[in-house]
Amino acid sequence: MREDSLSRQRFAQIQQLLPATNKDEVLNAPPMANAARPIGLEQYYSEAGPDYVAWSPEFNMHFGYYRAGANPLNREAMLEQMNAEVLARLQVDGITEPRLLDLGCGLGATLRSFARRLPHSELLGVTRVPWQVEQARALNASAGYRDRIGVIEADYENTPLASSSFDGVYALESSCYAQGSDKRRLLEEAHRLLRPGGRLVVVDGFLRGRFVSRAQQRIYRKVCACWVVEDFAERQAFVRRLEKLGFREITVEHLQMRVAPSVMHVPWVSLKFLLTDVVFGTRPMTRARWNNVLAPLLLPLVSAPLGPLTYCMITAMKR
Ligand SMILES: C[S@@+](CC[C@H](N)C(=O)[O-])C[C@H]1O[C@@H](n2cnc3c(N)ncnc32)[C@H](O)[C@@H]1O
């Protein structure tokens, strides 16, 4: 009973994060039908989305963070560690009920990880994919977080959320989908949503330097096409944009070696997927599903040390 009323209270608090005019509609609305929007991203994640379970039963749709002493064979633990590393950099320890926003939340695995780690928090995720909204809400509900985590369909470059309403905002392997080489609109929106003193954490692949050959550039284009990414951010341009927006305490961490152990799981996961889901599976193998197999296999050919794509965690504080 007490738990119930606490949940309702949290739900009401999450609702406060939404604009006054339509918060009920936004939070409770069934995911919208795919109206007049570009279909690439929605189609990709709706068709290939269920396949991510082969990578992570918890639906962590990102690479893992390896710490010395950890078991490099335990992929899920490394994926979960990445969530923990993001949370650590948001620096919300001293805040009684931190409000955190996931820009590009996928199926909400990071939000559920945060809900476990921060029992007194208000968590909200946005994704552009209606199928993910539906699934993330179902997964949140079955984990007992129906009223603690909100997930809404929105474009993270232009959300309906109130300004200065979050203590921390993060984008975990989702910033690559934002427009431009400096991801200006995403960073402007993150800046608007953060309260002064709040922190932004972005984890993703960033371009630094040149391609060594035309062939490598073509492979990079193929990786982007497979994942429906226009272009990964250019690291320098991205950091300059953060500076221009007035962010302070900008730090760039190079995580190539940290993610390498989980990247090494890709061939094995792909092989297992091909045998179980392709050979014996019942769902039709669409182009989006094949792309999801191909992109991670090509990724090492364009990533450091062979290519210019480097995996970084970039942290900044709003003045
Ligand atoms: C690779 S998934 C990462 C999901 C999640 N962060 C995780 O690590 O499990 C990329 C996510 O970014 C979301 N995304 C891409 N562009 C977006 C946009 N413009 N607005 C909101 N979400 C977006 C996709 O819908 C997807 O959920």
Rounded Cα distance between 66 and 79, Å, is: 9
pLDDT of residue 189: 98
b/e burial code for range 31-67 (CB count within 10 A of at least 16 → b): beeeeeeeeebbbbbbbbbbbbebbbebbbbbbbbbe
Q: Which ligand 1 atom lies nearest to the CA of residue 186?
A: 19
* C-beta 79 within 6 A of ligand 1: no
Rounded Cα distance between 248 and 252, Å, is: 12
Distance, CA 128 to ligand 1 centroid (Å)? 7
pLDDT of residue 277: 83
* C-beta 43 within 6 A of ligand 1: no
Distance, CA 220 to ligand 1 centroid (Å)? 20
* C-beta 10 within 6 A of ligand 1: no
* C-beta 132 within 6 A of ligand 1: yes
For ligand 1, mutation pick of 127, 155, 157, 173 (most atoms within 8 Å of CB): 127
Give the residue, by CA position, lying nearest to ligand 1 atom 13. Answer: 104
* C-beta 265 within 6 A of ligand 1: no
DSSP letter for each residue of 58-109? T---S-----TTS-TT-HHHHHHHHHHHHHHHH--TT-SS-EEEEES-TTSH
Domains of the chain: 2-204+232-256+311-318 (3.40.50.150)
* C-beta 175 within 6 A of ligand 1: no
For ligand 1, mutation pick of 79, 101, 169, 174 (most atoms within 8 Å of CB): 174
The CA R_g of the chain, rounded to the nearest whole Å, is 19
Task: Convert the pLDDT of each residue in 163-213 to its tens digit.
Answer: 999 999 999 999 999 999 999 999 999 999 999 999 999 999 999 999 999
Cis peptide before 160 (omega within 30 of 0): no
216 with 292: CB under 8 angstroms? Answer: no
User: Which parts of the chain sit beneath pLDDT 50?
Assistant: 1-39
Question: At a CB cut-off of 8 Å and minimum separation 6, what does 19 contact?
Answer: 26, 160, 161, 162
* C-beta 113 within 6 A of ligand 1: no
What is the model's pTM?
Answer: 0.89
DSSP, res 176: G
Rounded Cα distance between 144 and 140, Å, is: 6
**Maximum alpha-carbon separation in the chain:** 64
pLDDT of residue 237: 98
pLDDT of residue 283: 87
pLDDT of residue 208: 96
299 with 270: CB under 8 angstroms? Answer: no
For ligand 1, mutation pick of 87, 123, 128 (most atoms within 8 Å of CB): 128
Which residue intervals of 228-318 are DSSP H helices?
235-244, 256-263, 266-273, 287-302
* C-beta 186 within 6 A of ligand 1: no
66 with 260: CB under 8 angstroms? Answer: yes
